[in-house]
């Protein structure tokens, strides 16, 4: 529930042309939490799992209080009260917006690749003879690279053709994960994570701004929700399909990741006409 509303609020508060940086800063906050959260959880869990879950509940409640009392409300078009902000209206308009529909399909392709890092990538690291701590360090590399480089990259991606930037990011993500199949040393695996992460850093802030720019003002939250659903599809299907394919043919899995990356890049580039919003 939080992600679509957060994306809509960012889009309301930040003017078009500056949203890539806004979404990059938002992702920076998330990744700082991702970096600090596991360490804090491990510290608390050693003393009491009850403290761990109480702490999680407390921080969530604090977020809710801050959101309710301190965050701005954003912009709400008068037509929202007349029903034009309904899901039915959003689905009707979104289905006629070819650029947005192609983006949703492309995003689904990339999320299927993305969630291999938490499933089959771990199996490959283990099969290559490395302990669990090596896998943890490789995941930490992903977060560290985002914290250090993502804001810098936005200075080069903001203002450029968003579909070309998305295509580059999707391609790097797919090819980066595909390189796992030929990576059997720590250095090679770190390079794989680096390529994927740069694809993620290039595409993710632009993706948030792209959805916000395509969506009608009254429907930004709905469009953000539809984009968020592609990540739910990736989370639901990516690990089980990936592990099933990996059990039969690891080479086929990594090839499929490359194909999905190329397909995602092609989908956001193929239609150069303006989107239709009627």
Per-residue confidence (pLDDT) for residue 78, from 0 to 100: 45
| Chain position carrying tokens 């992903």 | 142
Short-list 121, 99, 100, CA closest to 257:
121
Cα separation values, 84 from 89, 94, 215, Å? 6, 13, 13
For residues 119 and 236, is the Cβ–Cβ distance under 8 A?
A: no
For residues 130 and 256, is the Cβ–Cβ distance under 8 A?
A: no
For residues 174 and 133, is the Cβ–Cβ distance under 8 A?
A: no
Tell me yes or no: is domain 2-73+87-270 CATH 2.40.50.100. Answer: no
Per-residue confidence (pLDDT) for residue 255, from 0 to 100: 97
Per-residue confidence (pLDDT) for residue 202, from 0 to 100: 94
Per-residue confidence (pLDDT) for residue 274, from 0 to 100: 47
| DSSP states of 35-68 | HHHHHHHHHHHHH-HHHHHHHHHHHHHHHHHHHH
Helix axes 250-270, 220-248, angle to 10 degrees: 150
Per-residue confidence (pLDDT) for residue 77, from 0 to 100: 52
Buried b (16+ CB within 10 A) or exposed e, 204-225: bbbbbbbbbebbbbbbbbbbbb
Written as tens digits, the pLDDT of the chain (278 aa) is 888 888 888 888 888 878 888 888 888 888 788 767 766 777 777 788 888 899 889 999 999 999 999 988 776 554 444 445 677 888 888 888 899 999 999 999 999 999 999 899 999 999 999 988 888 888 888 888 888 898 888 888 888 899 999 999 999 999 999 999 999 999 999 999 999 999 999 999 999 989 988 888 888 888 999 999 999 999 999 999 999 999 999 999 999 999 999 999 999 998 655 443 33
Per-residue confidence (pLDDT) for residue 157, from 0 to 100: 86
Instruction: Give the start-end residues of each E strand in 48-204.
Output: none
Per-residue confidence (pLDDT) for residue 272, from 0 to 100: 53
Classified as helix, coil or strand, 187 is helix
Token readout for 97 is: 């917006």
**Rounded Cα distance, 70 and 9, in Å:** 13
Per-residue confidence (pLDDT) for residue 76, from 0 to 100: 57
Per-residue confidence (pLDDT) for residue 140, from 0 to 100: 82
Per-residue confidence (pLDDT) for residue 218, from 0 to 100: 81
Per-residue confidence (pLDDT) for residue 216, from 0 to 100: 87
The domains of the chain are located at: 2-73+87-270
Per-residue confidence (pLDDT) for residue 232, from 0 to 100: 93
Per-residue confidence (pLDDT) for residue 136, from 0 to 100: 81
Dihedral class, residue 275 (left if φ above 0, else alpha if ψ from -120 to 50, else beta): beta
Classified as helix, coil or strand, 75 is coil
pTM for the whole structure: 0.82
**Rounded Cα distance, 192 and 181, in Å:** 10
Per-residue confidence (pLDDT) for residue 276, from 0 to 100: 39
Per-residue confidence (pLDDT) for residue 62, from 0 to 100: 95
CA atoms lying within 13 Å on the CB side of residue 57? 6
What totals of helices (H) and strands (E) does the chain contain, helices first?
A: 11, 0
Angle in degrees, CA 220, 223, 227, rounded to 5? 135
- C-alpha of 126 from chain center: 25
**Rounded Cα distance, 59 and 64, in Å:** 9
């Amino acid at each position: 529930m939080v992600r679509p509303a957060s994306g809509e609020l960012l889009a309301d508060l930040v003017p078009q042309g500056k949203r890539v940086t806004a979404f990059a800063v938002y992702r920076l906050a998330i990744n700082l939490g991702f970096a600090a959260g596991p360490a804090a959880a491990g510290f608390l869990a050693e003393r009491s799992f009850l403290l761990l879950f109480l702490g999680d509940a407390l921080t969530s409640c604090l977020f809710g209080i801050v959101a309710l009392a301190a965050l701005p409300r954003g912009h709400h078009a008068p037509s929202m009260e007349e029903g034009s902000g309904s899901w039915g209206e959003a689905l009707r308009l979104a289905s006629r917006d070819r650029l947005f529909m192609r983006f949703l399909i492309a995003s689904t392709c990339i999320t299927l690749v993305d969630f291999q890092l938490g499933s089959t990538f771990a199996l490959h690291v283990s099969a290559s003879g490395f302990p669990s701590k090596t896998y943890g360090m490789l995941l930490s590399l992903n977060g560290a690279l985002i914290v250090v480089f993502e804001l810098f990259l936005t200075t080069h991606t903001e203002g450029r053709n968003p579909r070309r930037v998305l295509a580059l990011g999707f391609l790097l993500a797919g090819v980066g994960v595909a390189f796992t199949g030929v990576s059997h040393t720590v250095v090679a695996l770190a390079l794989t994570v680096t390529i994927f992460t740069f694809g993620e850093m290039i595409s993710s802030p632009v993706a948030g701004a792209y959805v916000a720019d395509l969506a009608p003002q009254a429907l930004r939250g709905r469009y953000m929700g539809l984009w968020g659903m592609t990540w739910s599809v990736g989370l639901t299907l990516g690990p089980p399909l990936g592990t099933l394919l990996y059990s039969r043919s690891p080479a086929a899995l990594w090839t499929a990741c490359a194909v999905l990356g190329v397909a995602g890049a092609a989908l956001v580039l193929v239609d150069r006409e303006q989107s239709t919003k009627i």
